Structure 1
């Protein structure tokens, strides 16, 4: 089949696939071709809505605005009800991008009400909750967490009822809810949410999955803040073993996990263990930098200061070398010994 035989919607799916796989330039080129092929009737379909959303995701706001203006100009009252709601949700997003977030929130609330009416009148159990999700995202972008929280709780209850409490859809909402709790300083609910997310990730993805470990480290940080250092330390132990296995002991991510564990030891008054972790981290840095291994008798603050200097120097800067005030060229080894 020739490319000419593909429909506009086929090109849109191809562009979306390219975007999802990280080929942004290709995605934009295919999206541009799809936009050129849009007929006037197609301006009243979901394809045009999805194309504008793709341009927004590509951060091509001018192209998104131009296509949306074309859609508004071609709008007619005979379009389907489903498209009407999608169009208004898109209108709200464009208003938000243009600095009119309050208008966007009002429009999304109205669209959400209409979607609720449609669901009550429909025998289908399909739950899209599109307007609700758009409204929540808009509120979060405005840092209006108090309004976003009850809407997220509602969405979570619905997803748990329809898809199951451990479904990826429900866990995704719970993860977003944990961020909203944290933004409001609600550490207790943040911990409860992250515990559930972490347990679900371990069951679905495995303990050694990067997403599982990212959540576990976030949970460890919350436990640390709440003074539950014993539990946090166990999570750091597991993460450190995995990170060093994946990347090596001198990798910045591995070093940061070891340093966080050392800080956890400090909080538990286990200074010898903390000192040991800081020394091991510094020795890994020295080995990576090609510095002759030395015995470190410094106290904790000195070791931490040396480590922070190492971690603050990006690899690309180190490769180009850093010129000191005296004009000397400093390598990794001289940074570590400074």
Structure 2
């Protein structure tokens, strides 16, 4: 039996462990956060009961940490359990439900489940609009998250519109230094980069960097993101030496935060490989591409859509060096991953078919080139008809 004094002590302990876990999470210190988040669940169950909202909070926090570490199955399970508790305790339209839906959507994005994520983000936004109205920082954050998803789905106009809406709300509500406006600047810059507007993109990336540096200090995941994106512009402009220097800085920050086997490191190895390829250092490029593939497979699995970027890049390198068998192997692996992730009628699959068609055409395998090219055209026609 727990006495009142013990009960009060445990409540204080839960408050403290929860606060410290979130502080460590925000600082990118995930191992320290993990231990405290697990402890806070145990304390909450003991003091408040297994179905209490405190347990839901603690589960949600642990879910966020697992997501950041790339442990998506564990993150998804905890997020769903947390959501069940919130719904049972508070009903369907509570702001905490919106937060929980938003977090689960983020996990689905990490796992490449974009349709499920979109539905949850939209439901989260709907709840927040009912509770807060339109001009609130929570609405801006939701617009930002939904825009991120549209960007991943290549719906660039919709994404750009929502990023601008988010920035407008942040500025109206005097949240100019909020880290989330940094996200909006950063992600709007991504759209401008895709459109080839590099100077404007670079300005926004640097704005995001300054906001995040003020908020978080030098060794934080968002700082790594900002440096990575600035490096990307230098790469596109052909400033390879500066790009390589910055990418290696990113790798140091990420290895400090996540360790050496994390999918963010795969992205950075891929980026360094592209720089090496641009500099004509092909053996180094091959080594870094292979490292990216290995880490991505180990952390996200062999069928995650993100893997395709690395498979296609190493295939492109082999094609350029006339190592066609190896190029074909990696292009085909990328095609299989895309078919499994998005179905055989996806425009991404069509692009993968065209990659193979172009290579076959260049080496005189005309019939195969024609077959793959026709398949791609058929997919594009259907997609255009349905849009």
**Structure-2-length-normalised TM-score:** 0.49
Q: Conserved in 2, the CA contact under 8 Å of 1:46 and 1:86? A: no
2:292 maps to what in 1?
155
2:168 maps to what in 1?
33
1:181 partnered with 2:181: no
Deviations 1:121-144 (A, max 9, x none): 8xxx75322433443455566676
1:233 maps to what in 2?
367
- Could you say what the CA RMSD is over the residues aligned between the two structures, in angstroms? 4.1
Deviations 1:49-91 (A, max 9, x none): 5522422422453365167258538945962622443343344
Deviations 1:25-46 (A, max 9, x none): 624632541563563642xx36
Gaps of at least 5 residues in structure 2 are 1-128, 383-387
1:81 to 203, 206, 219: 219
- The SS at the match of 2:330 is helix
1:46 to 1:143, Cα distance in 2 relative to 1, 3 A = farther
1:58 maps to what in 2?
192
Equivalent-residue separation in structure 2 for 1:18 and 1:144 (angstroms): 35
1:191 partnered with 2:322: no
Equivalent-residue separation in structure 2 for 1:119 and 1:128 (angstroms): 8
Q: Conserved in 2, the CA contact under 8 Å of 1:198 and 1:216? A: yes
Equivalent-residue separation in structure 2 for 1:74 and 1:120 (angstroms): 22
1:72 to 201, 210, 216: 210
1:23 to 128, 140, 157: 157
Offset at 1:151? Answer: 1.2
Deviations 1:274-327 (A, max 9, x none): xxxxxxxxxxxxxxxxxxxxxxxxxxxxxxxxxxxxxxxxxxxxxxxxxxxxxx
1:107 maps to what in 2?
246
- The SS at the match of 2:200 is helix
1:118 to 1:219, Cα distance in 2 relative to 1, 3 A = same
1:47 to 1:185, Cα distance in 2 relative to 1, 3 A = farther
Aligned residues: 240
**Structure-1-length-normalised TM-score:** 0.54
- More helix per residue: 1 or 2? 2
Q: Which has the higher contact order (CA 8 A, sep 6+)?
A: 2
